[in-house]
Amino acid sequence: MLSFHALPALAALPVGLLVGLPAAAAPTSAAVFGIELAEPGTVGPRPLKPQDARRLALASETLRREVAGRGLEPVDLGAHAAEIRRDAPFYKCEGCAEKIAKAAGAVLVVYGYVQRSAPQVLNLTITVTEAESGKVLRGGQVVIQGDTDDTWLHGVRSLVKNRLFAEPLPNRS
């Protein structure tokens, strides 16, 4: 079972995302970063459990596919791997993702994290920002009940469909 929560800061944003772009319009480039695991109370990086690493990779790839399927053009972040490792986690680092995205030539930034609130209850949060200004354009959170591949992937797809791309992004339609 999933439940959705819009990020409070997004309530005042005007609505608008890439639905209805004219066919001649060039796709907007987006830096889609891998979904991270947030572990409150931990200091420094902690080795991931194999099932968590696999699910993060699956969820990240699903996020990239979903973003590309909504008309955005994901940029290659391979040349920035060292910076990504240095600056992660992005949910804690204000502006780091945007700086890397700008260097990679992206207009938008997409990043997210999963946080366990109980063994079978996880919170997935994904945010879309402008690379130039860091302005949050869209974001949301979904509660995932059940710690399986299917529940993680369903959570990503549902959040993208029902929160991130339910309407055109502000100033992007």
Q: What is the pLDDT of residues 89-98, one digit of tens each?
A: 888 888 999 9
Do the domain assignments include residue 31? yes
What pLDDT score does 17 carry? Answer: 36
C-beta of residue 20 within 8 angstroms of C-beta of residue 173 = yes
Do the domain assignments include residue 54? yes
How many structural domains are present in the chain? 1
Do the domain assignments include residue 97? yes
Do the domain assignments include residue 115? yes
- Whole-number mean pLDDT of the chain? 83
Structure tokens at 81: 């791997």
Do the domain assignments include residue 94? yes
60: CATH = 3.40.50.10610
In terms of C-beta density within 10 A (0-12 exposed, 13-18 middle, 19 or more buried), how is residue 112 classed?
buried
In terms of C-beta density within 10 A (0-12 exposed, 13-18 middle, 19 or more buried), how is residue 75 classed?
buried
Phi, psi (rounded to 5 degrees) for 166: -65, -30
Using the predicted structure, report yes or no on whether residue 123 has a pLDDT greater than 70.
yes
Do the domain assignments include residue 104? yes
What pLDDT score does 111 carry? Answer: 96
Phi, psi (rounded to 5 degrees) for 126: -130, 140
What pLDDT score does 42 carry? Answer: 64
Do the domain assignments include residue 173? no
What pLDDT score does 25 carry? Answer: 53
Domain that holds residue 158: 2-38+47-164
What pTM value is reported for the model?
A: 0.80
Using the predicted structure, report yes or no on whether residue 157 has a pLDDT greater than 50.
yes
Using the predicted structure, report yes or no on whether residue 143 has a pLDDT greater than 60.
yes
Q: Name, in order, each residue with C-beta under 8 angstroms of 150's C-beta and a sequence gap of 6 or more.
A: none
What pLDDT score does 83 carry? Answer: 95
Do the domain assignments include residue 171? no
C-beta of residue 29 within 8 angstroms of C-beta of residue 102 = no
What pLDDT score does 9 carry? Answer: 36
DSSP tag of 23: T
Using the predicted structure, report yes or no on whether residue 64 has a pLDDT greater than 60.
yes
Cα separation, 157 vs 171, in Å, equals 23
- Higher-pLDDT residue of 81 and 6 is 81
Using the predicted structure, report yes or no on whether residue 21 has a pLDDT greater than 70.
no
